[in-house]
Every structure is written in C-alpha cells, then in structure tokens.
Amino acid sequence: MMNRLAVTVAALLVVRTALAQPLPAPSPTPPPGDRDAPASEPVLAPEHIAAKLPATPQPEEPITVDQIVIASTNRVDLNFFGDVSMVQSTAQDAAFAIGPLGFQVTAHLTQELVGRTEFAMSFDNGDTVLDVERAYLEYRSPHWMLAAGRTHAELGYWNNAFHHGRWLQLTINRPRVLRFEDEGGMLPVHQVGITAVYGPSRGEAGLEVGVGVGNGHGRVLEQIQTTGDDNHAKSMLLRVGAVGYGHPALRFGINVAVDDIAAQPEAVRPLAPDASILELITGVYLSLRAEHVLVFSETYNIAHFAMGQSWQVTDGFLLAGYRLDKTIPYAQIEARRGDGAVDPFYNPSPALNSETVSPTNYVEGLVGVHYDLNSWSALKLEVADRRFNGTSDYRVELNWSFGR
C-alpha cells in the first residue's frame, strides 16, 4: 500500500514539473511568397560596403581592383565585373554592346600569401572568347610585394590599378596607349615572370621601386608567351616612383623596359626578316586620386632597333576630373606620333591574321560624365572625336557598368 502511494506521488510530481516548464516559442511564419521555406533556415543579411570600402575614395587609400573584397569565405574572395553600352559612332549606327565580363578569384593561403586569377569573357563576331588574363602567387608585407606568374606589368599607375572590368575606372575605355595587346594596344601590358616591388607602408610617403623579369614578346604583340620563351633573353622592367609627396594620394615616377625580340622569317615579319629586334620602352606617369580632384597622365616611348635602323612611337594622355558628390565630369586628350605605320614588329604579315594593330598617328579628345548610381554601379556618358590619317571619327557612348 505504501509503495503504491509513493509511486503515485512521484508520478504527480513529474507531471507538475513538466507543466511548469514554459512552452516553446512558435515557429516564425515564413514571409509572404516564401511559405515553403523551412522556418529554421538562417537568413544572412548582405555585408555593408562601408565596413571595408568607403563610397568615396580616401586620399590615403586609393582604390584599386585588387584591394576590394566583395564576397569572402575567409579563404576565397570573388569579384565580378560587367557592363553594357549604347554606342553611336562613325563606324556604326546606334547599337547596344556588351562589354567584357571580368571574374577575379583570390585564394588566401596565409595572412601574407595569396593566389589570384582573373579571367575575362568577351564577345567577338558571334563567338564567346574566354581568356585567362592573370594567374599568379603574391606575397605581401608592409613594404614588399613579390608576385610570380602572369600579371599586369609594372607600367605606370593605371595598369595595376584598373584591370579587365571597366566599372572602377573613370572613363569607359582604357587610354589607347594602355589597351590590351589584342585590343589595339602597343605596350606589353601583361608579363609572365617575377615582379618585386618595395615601397612605403600604406598612408606613408616614400620611394617605390618595382622590378620585373619575364618572358619576352612572341611572334606578334598579342602572343603572350605563358608556357615558354622563344629565346634565352628575358624582358627586364624597372619602375621608380614617389608616393605621398605633396599630397597623400599623389604618385609619380618613371619606367624603363628592355626586351630582345627573337628573329622571325619573312612569312611572319616581312619588313625585318630573320632579324632580332631590340626594344626599349621609357615612360613617365602621374596619378592623383584626391577627395575631389582626379588626375591621370602617362606617356610612353617605344623604340625598336634592327638591321642598323630604328623606329620610334610616342603616345601619351592626360585625364582630369572633379568629383561633385556622386557626379564626376571629366575630360581627356591623347596623342600619338611616330613610325608605327612602318615599324616591322607592329606590321606582321597579313597572312597571320594577327590582332596586332599598327600604332599610327592620331589626336583624340573626349569629354564625359561619370555618375555613381550606388557603391557598386556607375553610369558613364562620353563624347569622343579622333583625328588620324587626314580623317576623323566620333563616338557617343552611354555605359552602365557594375562590380560586385
């Protein structure tokens, strides 16, 4: 009798204790239009750009593509760039055009060591072309940067501040002298080799020195030798500049590059058959990305020596803009003079169907307005006029670009 009573009392105590516990909170009701989503699925708010990138560039930290972290797993960063334009020009009636799509992936291997690749999709005559533009390992410390692989060469400022996505740069297109090898350029914009740069810590003033050693030119300008070199000589590049003197965002300096271009038969290089070409590139640059004033200027001279002769081409530009909140009106002038029309390296045999374009003389002026729709997207409107070979052409373009 006593045992039965004890069991009954114990059972009543357990029930009373259970009833005294608070009821679990009801599951949240899924938002309208998403009622099939499980209630326990986490919802992640997007990261605010202000946490890593101010909407307005700060003088002591000029923005470059490689410094932007868009999305990260703490191991891999991903960036995506693209644009679309409405273009009216001498060469074509008004039409829409899709610009190159740029993808940049950065793998964090250690705090100082990263692996980075950039590939771009472009559209040409109905075909989609995929190119690996950069692929390299990079080590950084407060004063040193060491990169090995396929990079953008240490030419001036623009070439390593703005890459294949067109959103971040002030203008719609690169200046003609800095365009890529397969897009009408005249410089070896890409380098396959090793680059070392020494400079002051961010926010400090000082001298900056960059040295690059890599494979030289291939048969034609756009043939970038990524898996070998057709001669024993290597291209050598030196950049010496100043950072932060007079203004925290002011950069200026000089470039010198040398390459021994291997000889090619008449079927490849009819103007200089079976003759090697010595190439000497010299240049000066200036960049100011202040809170309101933006100035970019670079000038390059390319000299080729072969068969006791020499050819030279000089190309330079000046681009200036002024920031008014989200709006930046700007203007640019660029000019080229020299022997590009008869230079044997820039005039390969037509039978090769080379994308190399002879750097002939011209003068081009453009005016435009750059408007930041938000932190990741911009509208650009440009009107350009170019005079060359006694003729002229114009271009009016409205461009909507983004980066994320």
Question: What is the tens place of the pLDDT at every residue in 289-327?
Answer: 999 999 999 999 999 999 999 999 999 999 999 999 999
Domain boundaries, the chain: 53-403
One-letter amino acid of 390: G
pLDDT tens sequence across 394-404: 999 999 999 98
Burial class (CB in 10 A: 0-12, 13-18, 19+), 168: middle
Q: What are the strands, taking DSSP E only, across 141-218?
A: 144-152, 190-198, 206-214
The tokens for 3 are 């045992």
Torsion of Cα atoms, 103 then 109 then 111 then 113, to 10°: -80
| pLDDT at residue 67, as a whole number | 64
Give the model's confidence band at 204: pLDDT under 50 very low, under 70 low, under 90 confident, else very high. very high
Asked if residues 363 and 386 have their Cβ atoms less than 8 Å apart, the reply is yes
| pLDDT at residue 35, as a whole number | 35
Give the model's confidence band at 23: pLDDT under 50 very low, under 70 low, under 90 confident, else very high. very low
Residue 192 has pLDDT above 50, yes or no: yes
Phi-psi region of 396 (alpha: psi -120 to 50; beta: other; left: phi over 0): beta
Burial class (CB in 10 A: 0-12, 13-18, 19+), 262: middle
**pLDDT higher for 347 or 4?**
347
Residue 44 has pLDDT above 80, yes or no: no
- Nearest Cα neighbor of 162 from 72, 79, 226, 73 is 79
CATH number of 53-403: 2.40.160.10
Q: Residue 58's beta-bridge partner residues?
A: 61
pLDDT tens sequence across 216-257: 999 999 999 999 999 999 999 999 999 999 999 999 999 999
